[in-house]
Structure 1
Amino acid sequence: MKIWAKLITDGKIRKQFVYEKEERLTYSHFFDYLTEICQALDIPTPVLLKTHIFNFAKFNHVRFIRRDFVEEFDYDQLFLENIIL
């Protein structure tokens, strides 16, 4: 499983990270993946809602915007994309 994480401001990628795990993608562990990605990017972890998981499952990507974060978030959005091999 690979997830491409992008921090976007003004339509430009400011920082990116590819998260890799040997295990298959499990939606019940999605918050754990999100936490590890945010730690690697040194940003706060956003609030994860059921709609975020549904969007990732249906469209292979999810977008977290500033209002999804409780703490200060210096970017316009965190965009996670499932890399399918």
Structure 2
Amino acid sequence: MFRLWARTFKDNHMLQDTCICDGSADTRTHKIFRALDEICVQFDLGKPIWLDKTVKDFKRHNKVRFYQDNFIEDIDFDYLEIQVIEEDS
């Protein structure tokens, strides 16, 4: 089972969170993008842009923060954080 945890923060307080589970046989990349799409629907957000720094951080730590620079529209929180909490065996 693949699980991705997403949270929004403002002033170091968590505003909302969700966990997306995916048991499909798809690739890890497809699971991440599909989970991020679902997160954006649940949180009513536009899709964030993956900048070079964002990709590098995610590859290194399995966790990344999307700040205002990653979004086209204004956001009402400081950042969206996503983290892989369980990978397929």
Question: Normalized against structure 1, the TM-score is what?
Answer: 0.83
The structure number with the bigger radius of gyration is: 2
Q: In structure 2, how many angstroms separate the alpha carbons of the residues matched to 1:50 and 1:36?
A: 22
User: C-alpha displacement at 1:50, in angstroms?
Assistant: 4.1
Matched to 2:58, the amino acid is F
Which residue in the other structure is 1:73 paired with?
75
Contact kept, 8 Å, 2:51 with 2:70, in 1: the verdict is: no
Aligned-CA RMSD value: 1.8
Q: What per-residue deviation string (whole Å, max 9, x for no partner) do you get for residues 15-48 of structure 1? A: 1010111136522x23333222111111221112
Q: In structure 2, how many angstroms separate the alpha carbons of the residues matched to 1:42 and 1:75?
A: 13
Structure 1's consecutive aligned runs of 4 or more residues displaced over 3 angstroms after TM superposition are none
Contact kept, 8 Å, 2:66 with 2:81, in 1: the verdict is: yes
Unaligned runs of 5+ in 2: none
